[in-house]
Structure 1
């Protein structure tokens, strides 16, 4: 019944869009016929039990404690995706079942131009699989390692796109909680999308039992210290220069990214302290990433994760800006207003607070993704992985680890822990081509003539939770976005306000 409602909803939206557009009756019929063809394909796909054998496994582009990410090609269509493969045994052993479910739910629900797209998810007896959009430009971590630091103009572009991505998930009442450069992926044009390809264990702050709040009142608005924390910094070792700290950070960065401990460098103090936290914790992470872009390393980087956590919790004494970094007053102010108390943190009342900061003066927020990106990665083809780290293939990758031990009886594709994990996005039947009406793509010389492509991009950018995929993305350039649509009386779509906030 739900799938029938979704199908009616897709038809209703498209008919409304076509009715308001300058398209002939013949063209409308062709487009509606194409939608019906795709609906038939989607229905057939829904009946097909997808599995790893439906894909040709290609290059590994990520590996961690829980599994791996690799490039893959769907055998039936030739479409290229990123396949995220997670070990059920590790999810169960480390208590991460809810975390991985939350990731799947977020990617399935949030249909946004700023979030990596999930096409389908499935499972077998040993593994969970996510078939996702492949972004060949690499991630922000790799870019920062290559560039050392960004100029303020370059950083402004990517910080602004990250603001839009965070705002997008917040509109759906999700909290990411672990935003870091590893999770900011770049497409072939250099534009950023938010994902969670980090396969390392989310930081377990129970490993740091002596984390305590600073001795001063949480309500005190104390400026970041320009002097050392004389009470906490007991080492007599000389302070590193910015360049020395940068080199030390880069030496350890990859190891931290793929470790089983994880890196706490971008996590807000209220999360580490296991206090109640809300969406504002993601804006702290944004401040830490912005600092790293401009300085070259995170603001609270230390020799070990425990020391980093202590610095974050005592941020008033440890947030400093090296003079040689030559940050503008506006940049320092924005970072200081993100890396601060929740009560004073920008973004607590909404992303508009951050967008209005003087550092963003002149930023065209509604045109960021139409602009030329600050960097355009080198990409030679759809299978190009040069912007990702190289990983060696193992003899028998992840095939035997879950066949022994206390978790064996729990590892079944019907295991109650993973019921409901399987998902198929309507857009997986999208071959990005409309057969029989390709000639419509050539009719783009009329400046006021709408395009279906832009119509669908508007649907994406509005962040309305259109479930079962942005089917509007699959049609040819012919229509332009008309007036925004109200949900149909029989719509199965719920608004973000109707759902509760979900902690990732």
Structure 2
């Protein structure tokens, strides 16, 4: 008998599930155990599940706004599953148990003692990127030979720039998410003066690097990238997270040609409903939505404005309202009419026009509706999610250690842990960084890249 069948049952019972090509409702026997919600034809026939939902892939579980009574929604990276209980009490009980078990899996580090890693456990290989408060290094874990990206951040620079909340939020978001097009966190630890995040090493290069070299991408390539980015953004939003910094520099291309979103320093949690808002002015000027420029309250729609700006840039080589003068650029974002190149297809123009709607209440922000737009009519979303769609471009990388697709401005530097502009500070408030250390459970992340 399998370990799954021997695992204790957390909750079980009949629920009515919507499914099939005609969206019909069928009664199924549901069982939750070992982090998986499985459903069967009946209580007496549990030999083989008709389907299984791993809770690690679930963004949130909530009461549905559908007209049917007692319905709740289970949101996963690939789809939304509608389930109906017999009454409100039963529905609320299922939501409570599923949410609790989902959170236990996502926050597994709170019940698992982290291993005590240090920088001495890693060999520094190459510098592969730099940011405002730190750098990213290609490293090898000495005991396993696994290759990772090590993000090193200066505590004193984080404190001085009032970025503690953003930095901790990045670690928390990385810990809770798991998606094919989002970078995985494997470990995090700290010293008195630095923070360390050990992430997937992606060696196909930044999207920015490829776009700068090629000036612009063809429409098929843009469609593919935008489709994968859409699934990643949808997953973040379903997890209650807004990204706030979508741009080519934060999108990596894997060695197989897929998109991998990275850098979650400006993410903010707690955005479950459309009423959840914030007013923090942050992001990259070229991609800021009008409501951010105007210092108004905003929510998830800001990510879809940035998504439209990114799509326009990939097709044309420049963001839609770009100017060297930031004040002038903000004025263009607020007032200038969007002009499309004549060569751009009508479907692309239509989608961008709906995404770059200045009124966030009228902007195209529903991922389901975006997927149905004619621009994406050729996309098989289920196959795309499982990486079964062939990428239109494969980076030329020889092996797992190859850095030829990384900007040589970085890779030609000697890899060190020293951060530019850093100086010794005696009184860093260490309490601000309590609980930063983390070790991912193996089932929450993809296998790391291993050197040849």
Shift of 1:186: 1.2
Shift of 1:420: 1.5
Task: Note closer, same or farther for the CA distance 1:77–1:274 as it changes in structure 2 (3 Å cut).
Answer: same
How far does the alpha carbon of each residue in 1:223-268 deviate from its partner, in whole angstroms, 9 at most, with x for none?
Answer: xxxxxxxxxxxxxxxxxxxxxxxxxxxxxxxxxxxxxx98411121
Corresponding residue for 1:113?
Answer: 180
SS in structure 1 opposite 2:135?
Answer: strand
Shift of 1:179: 0.6
Equivalent pair of 2:149/2:198 in contact (CA under 8 Å): yes
Shift of 1:197: 7.7
Shift of 1:402: 4.9
Counterpart pick for 1:355 among 371, 376, 397: 371
SS in structure 2 opposite 1:265?
Answer: helix
- Measure, in 1, the Cα distance between the counterparts of 2:252 and 2:183: 8
Equivalent pair of 1:119/1:131 in contact (CA under 8 Å): yes
Equivalent pair of 2:170/2:264 in contact (CA under 8 Å): no
Task: Note closer, same or farther for the CA distance 1:417–1:153 as it changes in structure 2 (3 Å cut).
Answer: same
How far does the alpha carbon of each residue in 1:20-62 deviate from its partner, in whole angstroms, 9 at most, with x for none?
Answer: 48xxxxxxxxxxxxxxxxxxxx99x945311111100110110
Corresponding residue for 1:452?
Answer: none
- Measure, in 2, the Cα distance between the counterparts of 1:148 and 1:395: 30
Structure with a larger share of its residues in strand: 2
Does 1:305 find its partner at 2:320? no
Aligned length: 336
Counterpart pick for 1:96 among 154, 163, 169: 163
- Measure, in 2, the Cα distance between the counterparts of 1:61 and 1:274: 34
Does 1:330 find its partner at 2:343? no
Counterpart pick for 1:129 among 196, 200, 204: 196
Counterpart pick for 1:76 among 136, 143, 146: 143
For structure 1, the residue ranges without an aligned partner over 5 or more in a row are 1-6, 22-41, 203-260, 428-467, 475-504
Corresponding residue for 2:120?
Answer: 53
- Measure, in 1, the Cα distance between the counterparts of 2:361 and 2:131: 36
- Measure, in 2, the Cα distance between the counterparts of 1:343 and 1:111: 29
Does 1:284 find its partner at 2:305? yes
Shift of 1:277: 0.9
Task: Note closer, same or farther for the CA distance 1:101–1:272 as it changes in structure 2 (3 Å cut).
Answer: farther
- Measure, in 1, the Cα distance between the counterparts of 2:160 and 2:437: 21
Shift of 1:12: 2.5
Shift of 1:108: 0.5
Worse overlay, 381-390 or 265-274: 265-274
Shift of 1:307: 2.4
- Measure, in 2, the Cα distance between the counterparts of 1:162 and 1:286: 8
Corresponding residue for 1:180?
Answer: 247
Counterpart pick for 1:398 among 418, 423, 427: 418
Task: Note closer, same or farther for the CA distance 1:94–1:20 as it changes in structure 2 (3 Å cut).
Answer: same
**TM value normalised by structure 1:** 0.61
RMSD: 3.1
Equivalent pair of 1:88/1:128 in contact (CA under 8 Å): yes
For structure 2, the residue ranges without an aligned partner over 5 or more in a row are 1-6, 11-31, 40-45, 50-108, 267-281
- Measure, in 1, the Cα distance between the counterparts of 2:259 and 2:383: 14
Shift of 1:63: 1.1
Corresponding residue for 2:42?
Answer: none
Structure with a larger share of its residues in helix: 1
Corresponding residue for 1:194?
Answer: 261
Correspondence 1:481-500 to 2 at 5 A: none
SS in structure 1 opposite 2:168?
Answer: helix
**TM value normalised by structure 2:** 0.68
- Measure, in 2, the Cα distance between the counterparts of 1:417 and 1:47: 19
Q: RCO (CA 8 Å, sep 6+): is it higher in 1 or 2?
A: 1
Equivalent pair of 2:134/2:419 in contact (CA under 8 Å): no
Does 1:469 find its partner at 2:444? yes
Shift of 1:78: 0.6
Task: Note closer, same or farther for the CA distance 1:85–1:362 as it changes in structure 2 (3 Å cut).
Answer: same
Task: Note closer, same or farther for the CA distance 1:399–1:266 as it changes in structure 2 (3 Å cut).
Answer: closer
Equivalent pair of 1:71/1:134 in contact (CA under 8 Å): yes
Corresponding residue for 2:391?
Answer: 373
